[in-house]
């Protein structure tokens, strides 16, 4: 019963956000800060799922400037966890098929996000080149999930190189954003689904890399994020054990 009620309430809230967000974004048509506003609207829904979400930002995040943000993509719960981490003047890159999702598709388009045709490798490569140009021309930052798909409990999947190619071409840093593991930890029939930590890490300088070494950059970022996710999971586990001990 609780699960059904939660699903109903979340769906209604998501539709309202999509409808009101579309109106808001049409008024500010493709303003690059629209995405961050909508992401934070969705990111405030986490209490409806019985979650506590801690968002950790570096104190100097306002001075980051143009960058490419990369996050780990776990499941549909990302919409209410890591999405809150999107900063102003940041647009995301998503698969072309998102446009067909009822309510959400039109919102994704009107907020100014970038669609990627994954089926056409030459078009995808061209999109990355255009992204690199737009970053500096329009003073934008880009948000991407370099795994290319949801991991669904398989750990941090290997990274595709598109985000790293664009960062090197644009001469901007990579900023990793990680979220602790949510796979199999959320039961919609349970009131308390525990804590999730989302953390924005320090920028990674890309000036020492070239188009020929973007794979090295991708591997470095992957290892860094994988390690940090494990540390966040361990922190949450320790906190849970301490809480149980104090209640015993």
Number of structural domains found in the chain:
1
Q: Which helix (H) or strand (E) holds 124?
A: helix 121-137
The domain of 202 spans 50-99+115-247
The reported pLDDT for the residue numbered 87 is 94
With beta carbons less than 8 A apart as the criterion, state whether 33 and 219 touch: no
The mean of the pLDDT values for the chain is 91
CA–CA separation, 177 vs 40, rounded Å? Answer: 15
* In a domain? residue 226: yes
* In a domain? residue 31: no
pLDDT above 70 covers what percent of the chain? 96
CA–CA separation, 151 vs 158, rounded Å? Answer: 10
With beta carbons less than 8 A apart as the criterion, state whether 14 and 42 touch: yes
**Half-sphere CA count of 199, side-chain side, radius 13 A:** 17
* In a domain? residue 36: no
- pLDDT beyond 90 at 247: no
- pLDDT beyond 80 at 124: no
DSSP state of 204: B
Residue with tokens 């089926």: 119
* In a domain? residue 45: no
* In a domain? residue 23: no
* In a domain? residue 208: yes
The reported pLDDT for the residue numbered 120 is 61
* In a domain? residue 174: yes
Confidence of residue 79 (pLDDT cuts 50, 70, 90): very high
Global pTM value: 0.92
Instruction: Please name the residues in contact with 66: beta carbons below 8 A apart, sequence gap of 6 or more.
Output: 135, 136, 139, 140, 141, 170, 172
* In a domain? residue 205: yes
Higher-confidence position of 118 and 210: 210
Q: What is the mean pLDDT of residues 157-170?
A: 93
CA–CA separation, 94 vs 74, rounded Å? Answer: 15
Q: What is the mean pLDDT of residues 13-26?
A: 96
Highest averaged pLDDT of the listed ranges 63-72, 114-123, 144-153 = 63-72
Torsion-angle region of residue 87: left (phi > 0), alpha (psi -120 to 50) or beta? beta
């Amino acid at each position: 019963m609780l699960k059904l009620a939660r699903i109903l309430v979340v769906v209604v809230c998501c539709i309202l956000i999509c409808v009101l967000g579309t109106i808001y974004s049409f008024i500010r048509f493709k303003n690059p800060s629209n995405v961050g506003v909508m992401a934070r609207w969705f990111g405030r829904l986490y209490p409806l799922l019985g979650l506590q979400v801690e968002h950790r930002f570096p104190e100097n995040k306002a001075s980051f400037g143009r960058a490419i943000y990369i996050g780990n993509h776990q499941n549909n719960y990302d919409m209410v966890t890591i999405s809150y981490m999107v900063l102003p003047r940041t647009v995301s890159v998503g698969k072309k098929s998102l446009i067909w999702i009822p309510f959400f598709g039109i919102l994704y388009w009107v907020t100014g996000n970038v669609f990627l045709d994954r089926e056409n490798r030459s078009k995808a490569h061209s999109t990355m080149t255009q992204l690199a140009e737009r970053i500096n021309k329009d003073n934008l930052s880009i948000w991407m999930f370099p795994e290319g798909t949801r991991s669904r409990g398989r750990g941090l999947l290997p990274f595709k190189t598109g985000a790293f190619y664009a960062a090197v071409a644009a001469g901007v840093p990579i900023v990793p954003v990680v979220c602790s593991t949510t796979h199999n930890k959320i039961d919609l029939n349970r009131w308390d689904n525990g804590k999730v930590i989302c953390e924005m890490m320090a920028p990674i300088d890309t000036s020492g890399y070239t188009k020929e070494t973007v794979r090295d950059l991708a591997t470095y970022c992957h290892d860094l994020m994988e390690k940090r996710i494990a540390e966040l999971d361990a922190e949450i586990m320790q906190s849970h054990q301490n809480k149980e001990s104090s209640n015993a």
